[in-house]
């Protein structure tokens, strides 16, 4: 006997929560990673020798700038061949740019899959977009974590110099985690699990209600006696006077015979008789 396939139905026209989560977190991660890639502040060098204590240097993966705590101006395009020739810088440049491109590709895949204007998303495309988001997040975390691990040894610095983590590292961690979470959550939609709750779906028999049919009490059948009786030719009712006389289970009172009316009256009429 062939096995019947379970049918599923969406109980709401809203976009499933896992897709909303992914489509919000992925663009946020893209913006944070873009700032972390372009801004020249992966680490800061303070207490520089032969310089005022208010001056410090910001080093990124594309540029190096000099700043001061007194003024708001920046002097960029500083040259440091030893710093840019380090392996981590070249790896970070490639992976951060690749992460941005992969995130854009993931959005191009996921947006048609989400399809907010239809009653059912394309879960395969949405799930593939989630996998791409996950990959882009990993590509961001790798150079960020590597740079943080060798923060003090990216280039040889004087022991008196205070090396600090820049804000690009913080934004890169947050952006990468956002994309990884978005990818994991959206990828859950590829396979239906938790009784279809991950997709916002329910079994069609649960919606139509057959599962409660076994709880209903069967209706009680009552046999009604037939009232068909022979009709009288002189009457339109389904019985006759003779049938009533025959079908009587109790004695009847005797009816008075018709008495002749005496119209002769010799007495005087009274007022009550008028």
Which range, of 5-14, 23-32, 63-72, 183-192, averages the lowest pLDDT?
5-14
Residue 162 domain-assigned (yes or no): yes
Residues 6+ apart with CB under 8 A from 155: 80, 82, 83, 86
- Given this model, what pLDDT does residue 159 score? 79
Residue 23 domain-assigned (yes or no): yes
Q: What is this structure's pTM?
A: 0.66
Residue 32 domain-assigned (yes or no): yes
Distance CA 68, CA 61 (A): 20
Radius of gyration of the chain (CA): 47
Domain count, the chain: 1
Q: Residues 26, 107: contact at Cβ < 8 Å?
A: yes
Residues 6+ apart with CB under 8 A from 123: 113, 189, 190, 199
Q: Which domain holds residue 186?
A: 10-41+85-206
213 pLDDT higher than 50: no
Percentage of the chain beyond pLDDT 70 is: 62
Residues 6+ apart with CB under 8 A from 138: 176, 180
82-129 pLDDT, tens digit per residue, is 888 889 999 999 999 999 999 999 999 988 888 756 667 787 888 899
Residue 199, burial from CB neighbour count under 10 angstroms (0-12, 13-18, 19+): buried
Q: What CATH number does the domain containing 35 carry?
A: 1.20.140.150
Distance CA 83, CA 89 (A): 8
């Amino acid at each position: 006997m062939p096995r019947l396939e379970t049918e599923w139905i969406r109980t709401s026209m809203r976009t499933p929560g896992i897709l909303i989560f992914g489509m919000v977190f992925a663009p946020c991660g893209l913006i944070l990673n873009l700032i972390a890639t372009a801004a020249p502040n992966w680490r800061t060098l303070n207490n520089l020798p032969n310089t005022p204590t208010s001056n410090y240097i910001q080093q990124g993966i594309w540029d190096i700038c000099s700043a001061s705590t007194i003024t708001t101006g920046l002097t960029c395009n500083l040259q440091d061949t030893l710093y840019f020739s380090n392996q981590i810088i070249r790896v970070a440049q490639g992976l951060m740019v690749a992460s941005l491109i992969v995130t854009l590709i993931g959005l191009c895949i996921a947006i048609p899959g989400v399809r907010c204007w239809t009653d059912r998303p394309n879960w395969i495309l949405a799930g593939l977009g989630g996998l791409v988001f996950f990959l882009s997040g990993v590509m961001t975390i790798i150079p960020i974590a590597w740079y943080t691990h060798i923060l003090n040894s990216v280039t040889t610095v004087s022991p008196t110099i205070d090396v600090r983590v820049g804000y690009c590292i913080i934004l890169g961690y947050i952006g990468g985690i956002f994309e990884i979470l978005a990818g994991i959550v959206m990828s859950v939609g590829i396979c239906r699990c938790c009784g279809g709750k991950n997709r916002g779906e329910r079994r069609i028999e649960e919606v139509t209600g057959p599962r409660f049919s076994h709880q209903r009490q069967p209706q009680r059948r009552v046999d009604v006696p037939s009232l068909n009786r022979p009709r009288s030719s002189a009457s339109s009712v389904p019985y006759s006077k003779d049938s009533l006389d025959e079908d009587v289970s109790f004695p009847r009172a005797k009816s008075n015979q018709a008495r002749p009316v005496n119209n002769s009256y010799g007495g005087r009429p009274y007022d009550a008789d008028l």
